[in-house]
Amino acid sequence: MQIEVVVYNIESALRAQEGGADRIELCDNPGEGGTTPSYGTIEAVRQNVNMDLYVMIRPRGGDFLYSNYEFHSMKRDIHQCQKISVDGVVFGILNEEGVIDKKRCKELIDKAKPLKVTCHRAFDMARDPFEALEDCIEAGFDRILTSGGQLQALEGADLIGQLIKKANGRIAIMPGSGVNENTVEEIIKKSGAKEIHFSATAFRESGMKFKNQNIAGMGSLEGSEFKLRTVDAARVKIMRQLAEAALALRVS
């Protein structure tokens, strides 16, 4: 069982490693579903973790239909990731008809070599999951992160299982979204997945003694400077135990 933890800052990466994750997906902007983190953050994480480090290559939130300017920025971000010696990158591009943009994806995949490449949940926004599966294989992706086209992976677990069977070892299929202690066993039972993706999110209080409550969140109602996102290392350990036990039962 391969355990991937999505993280949004340096502290979270360290906590994921403490919990025994096999791999992390490093992103920025959790409220946008993840965008490309800063060069400095990627470098600091690379220098301080010894597990596989995959980096999100996504120039903005919103859809996965990118302009030429955005596509160029993705190529530059991949180049920077290669210089820092990360292990993989994560991206996905669709055309306006909801089909995987094989030409652009292949161009990025070729540029990223020898890094491993995961197609993120742009896959779930494609018009047909089985068409998208074959397109991802043809483009050269190593892995697909998917919720089975649903809001959460538990709801899409049956489709994830069908995708795994259809892939037949040609590409890895990894469930993600809503994967936690209450859902992981059922997701694996239904899908037979051998990789899982989750956040194990926790929050801790800021160390600030002075707190100006008048402008918490810098004027936004969605955030607060005094509540910091991290990863619960104990939850990562529990998730591995649950996932491995569920897979063992399914295999037996």
Q: What is the CATH number of the domain that holds 103?
A: 3.20.20.380
pLDDT class for 212, splitting at 50, 70, 90? Answer: confident
Q: What would the mean pLDDT of 25-50 be, rounded to a whole number?
A: 97
- pTM (two decimals): 0.95
Q: What would the mean pLDDT of 98-118 be, rounded to a whole number?
A: 98
Answer whether residue 219 shows pLDDT above 70.
Answer: no
Answer whether residue 216 shows pLDDT above 70.
Answer: no
Total count of domains within the chain: 1
Instruction: Find tokens 């239909």 and name the residue.
Output: 65
Answer whether residue 114 shows pLDDT above 70.
Answer: yes
Quote the CA–CA distance of 4 and 24 in Å, as a whole number: 5
Q: What would the mean pLDDT of 134-153 be, rounded to a whole number?
A: 98
pLDDT class for 173, splitting at 50, 70, 90? Answer: very high
Answer whether residue 221 shows pLDDT above 80.
Answer: no
Answer whether residue 247 shows pLDDT above 70.
Answer: yes
Q: What would the mean pLDDT of 96-100 be, rounded to a whole number?
A: 98
| Nearest in space to 88 (alpha carbons), one of 2, 20, 187, 191 | 2
Tokens of 5: 């933890």
Domain residues for the domain of 179 are 2-251
Q: Specify whether the CB–CB gap between 40 and 26 falls below 8 A.
A: no
Answer whether residue 224 shows pLDDT above 80.
Answer: no
Residue type, 171: I
Q: What is the mean pLDDT of the chain?
A: 95
Characterize the bridge pairing of strands 201-205 and 227-231. antiparallel
Q: What would the mean pLDDT of 78-105 be, rounded to a whole number?
A: 97
Edge to edge, the sheet with strand 2-7 lists 172-175, 143-146, 116-119, 88-91, 52-56, 23-26, 2-7, 195-198
Could you give the maximum distance between any two Cα atoms of the chain, in Å?
A: 58
**What share of the chain in percent tops pLDDT 90?**
89
Q: What would the mean pLDDT of 34-54 be, rounded to a whole number?
A: 98
Answer whether residue 157 shows pLDDT above 90.
Answer: yes
Quote the CA–CA distance of 42 and 25 in Å, as a whole number: 11
pLDDT class for 211, splitting at 50, 70, 90? Answer: confident
Least confident of 113-117, 207-211, 223-227: 223-227
